[in-house]
Amino acid sequence: MSAEKLVVIGQGYVGLPLAMRAVEAGLDVVGLDVDSDRVKRLASGESFVEDIPADRLGRALGTGRYRPSTEYADAEGFDVCVITVPTPLRDGTPDLSYVEQAGIGIGPHVRPGCAVVLESTTYPGTTEELLRPLLESASGLRSPGDFHLGYSPERIDPGNPTWRLENTPKVVSGVDPAALARVDEFYRRIVARTVPVTSTRVAELTKLIENTFRQVNIALINELTMLSHHLGIDVWQAIEAAETKPFGFMPFRPGPGVGGHCLPIDPCYLSWQVKRRLGRQFRFIELANDVNHEMPEHVTHRIMAGLNRTGRAVSGARLLLLGLAYKKNTGDMRDSPAVEVARQLCDLGAEVRAAEPYAEPHHVPGGVLVVQLSEAEVAAADAVIVVTDHDVFDYDMVTRCARYVFDTRNRCSGPMVERL
Ligand SMILES: NC(=O)c1ccc[n+]([C@@H]2O[C@H](COP(=O)([O-])OP(=O)(O)OC[C@H]3O[C@@H](n4cnc5c(N)ncnc54)[C@H](O)[C@@H]3O)[C@@H](O)[C@H]2O)c1
């Protein structure tokens, strides 16, 4: 019997790990992506997702059961198709054009008994209101009835060595009980535990609850951090003390702001829908967005004030940023607050250098020189700013050699260190 055929549409941070895992589970996988350069690199064994080392990709290619492709024709005869394309915001409005394009591309290959699952983060209702009609009109088939349709949010946490795709519980759903059973059966081959829910809308909302919860709590602690600074209280110590409470408290840490493809965007999908459907504001999200947006500017002001205390102006100062990515141990600079801090410091006339071992050169803001972290670089800087706390950085060396450290991540300590 031939292996089940899976098509994963989108070979990015979400789609590539899923494709690799599915090959390891014995499936025959086509990794579809419209980015021909990305597909070429994948076919030659080059991974751009840190969590997928080249040797893992090489092993998948070596089985002959992983085929990166730009051609929707290669989806023909699929059993399961998972859609993992971007869902960005355009001027505050959800941009579902990638999901639409994926639906239009895969629709003609939908056949009786197959399953299509959306994983892209989106507002409740997308699977049934937007994707289903596209698939039905392109295939002439119906769901429920002829083919299965479901939604399963992705919880992948890039750079997290503990919680990976296969050991993180996966919420699964379908448009009817038969679709749910089929989607659940598929994911049980991929992950250790599935969490079935009774509708695609519940599954879509689950993802938005998770990310809104993080966005709101990060904002809460960021606002407390700014206020504590003005009150002259060490917020980091207070958080550490609070987290000794064994129940009813979950610690969140302050930082220079939020970035990436999820936190600044996903909650806005929910507030957009609440506005559109109910004509109401989702006030927590609006407030959280405001506070988190404020953070890069707060960091810049604190650096200016810190330099001022040492008798230096920010204009003309040589500054070394540690990290440009929005998240530690990754090179993902999408909407990174570190990039925003770098831009603001450049605009103020500073000479900005950045140590970013995972740098994607095309995302480095103009005017910023990427350097290797070394004693000489640290010693030559008027200020070292810890923005992204990659584990590979030698924080002891930084603390020893720097004249002044502004630490947004609580990784350094000593008399020359000022924490956010
Ligand atoms: N990155 C994360 O940590 C994460 C976590 C959970 C959920 N998500 C969600 O998963 C989705 C994908 O995110 P990502 O980070 O993997 O994005 P990504 O940009 O890394 O990858 C998406 C890929 O889809 C491709 N693509 C776009 N349109 C296509 C089409 N019509 N056909 C085929 N390929 C197409 C792009 O070229 C790109 O390679 C988003 O909705 C995101 O919100 C992301």
**How large is the average pLDDT for residues 17-42?**
97
Question: What's the token pair of residue 118?
Answer: 């959306």
Mutate to test the pocket of ligand 1, among 85, 258, 326 (most ligand atoms within 8 A of CB): 85
Instruction: Give per-residue pLDDT as tens, 235-256.
Output: 999 999 999 999 999 999 999 9
Q: Which residue's structure tokens are 């639906």?
A: 103
Buried b (16+ CB within 10 A) or exposed e, 154-177: bbbbbbeeeeebeebebbbbbbbe
Whether the per-residue pLDDT at 2 is higher than 80: the answer is no
Q: How far apart are CA 413 and CA 356, in angstroms?
A: 21
184 contacts 195 by C-beta, under 8 angstroms:
no
Can you give 7-64 as a three-state secondary structure string?
EEECCCCCHHHHHHHHHHCCCEEEEECCCHHHHHHHHCCCCCCCCCCHHHHHHHHHCC
Mean pLDDT, to the nearest integer, of 369-383? Answer: 97
User: pLDDT per residue over 38-63, tens digit each?
Assistant: 999 999 999 988 889 999 999 999 99
**Residue % of the chain over a pLDDT of 70:** 100
* Percent of the chain with pLDDT strictly greater than 90: 92
**What does each C-alpha distance from 231 to 225, 235, 238, 300, 307 come to in angstroms?**
10, 10, 13, 19, 20
Q: Which residue has the tokens 């939604």?
A: 151
Tokens of 110: 């939908």
Mean pLDDT on 219-238: 97
- Is the Cα torsion angle 186, 190, 196, 199 positive or negative in sign? negative
At residue 302, does pLDDT exceed 80? yes
Per-residue pLDDT band at 363 (split at 50, 70, 90): confident
CA distance 182 to 245: 42
- Whole-angstrom Cα distance, residue 271 to residue 280? 9
Ligand 1 midpoint to CA 174 (Å): 21
Domain 5-198: CATH class, spelled out: alpha beta
- CA of 318 from ligand 1 middle (Å) equals 37
> Which CA distances in Å does 210 have to 262, 284, 289?
10, 14, 15
Phi, psi of 353 (to 5 degrees): -115, 155
pLDDT for residue 220: 98
pLDDT tens digit sequence for 180-189 = 999 999 999 9
pLDDT value at 24 more than 70? yes
CB 240 within 8 A of CB 254: no
Q: Which of 40, 99, 135, 261 to mutate to test the pocket of ligand 1 (most atoms within 8 A of CB)?
A: 261
Q: State the Cα–Cα distance between residues 350 and 177, nearest whole angstrom.
A: 60
User: What is d(CA 179, CA 220) in angstroms, rounded to the nearest whole number?
Assistant: 39
Q: Are 67 and 3 in contact (CB under 8 A)?
A: no
Per the residue annotation, which of 262, 268, 401, 412 is the catalytic one? 262
- Which protein residue has the closest C-alpha to ligand 1 atom 10? 120
If 0-12 CB within 10 Å is exposed, 13-18 middle and 19+ buried, where does residue 268 land? buried
User: What's residue 226's pLDDT?
Assistant: 97
Q: Is 199-420 in CATH node 3.40.50.720?
A: yes
Evaluated on CA atoms 378, 363, 342, 345, the torsion sign reads positive
Q: What's the pLDDT at 348? A: 97
**Which distant-in-sequence residues (6+ apart) come within 8 Å of 396 by Cβ?**
none
Q: Do the two domains 5-198 and 199-420 of this chain adopt the same fold?
A: yes
Is 300's pLDDT higher than 80? yes
> Is 262 marked active-site?
yes
- Residue-averaged pLDDT of the chain: 96
For position 268, what pLDDT does the model report?
Answer: 92
Ligand 1: atom nearest CA of 266 is 43
Mean pLDDT on 284-301: 96
Sign of CA dihedral 15, 33, 126, 174: negative
Q: What is the pLDDT of residue 1?
A: 60
Separation of alpha carbons 341 and 363, rounded Å: 14
The residue whose CA is least distant from atom 14 of ligand 1 is 13
Cα–Cα nearest to 318, from 393, 387, 403, 259: 403
Q: Which residues pair with 116 in a beta bridge?
A: 81, 149
Ligand 1 centroid to Cα of residue 36, in Å, is 15
CA distances from 70 to 8, 38, 54, 367 (A): 11, 9, 20, 35
Q: Are residues 151 and 171 in contact, defined by beta-carbon separation less than 8 angstroms? A: no
Give pLDDT tens digits for 118-172.
Answer: 999 999 999 999 999 999 999 999 999 999 999 999 999 888 889 999 999 999 9
Q: Which residues line ligand 1 (CB under 6 A)?
A: 9-15, 32-35, 38, 84-87, 98, 101-102, 105, 120-121, 154, 156, 158, 261-262
Maximum pairwise Cα distance, the chain: 75
Q: What is the mean pLDDT of residues 104-122?
A: 98
Nearest to 391 by CA among 300, 325, 302: 325
Continuous segment of H or E residues that includes residue 173 = strand 170-174
Nearest-angstrom CA–CA distance, 399 and 416: 7
Q: Which of 82, 119, 154 to mutate to test the pocket of ligand 1 (most atoms within 8 A of CB)?
A: 154
Cα 15 to middle of ligand 1, angstroms: 7
Sign of CA dihedral 292, 358, 163, 199: positive
Q: Which two tokens stand for residue 146?
A: 């002829």
pLDDT of residue 420: 96
Q: How far is the CA of 152 from the centre of ligand 1 (A)?
A: 14
DSSP element (H, E) containing 132 = helix 132-139
Is residue 360 predicted with pLDDT exceeding 80? no
Q: Indicate whether 261 pLDDT > 90.
A: no
For the chain, the domains span 5-198, 199-420
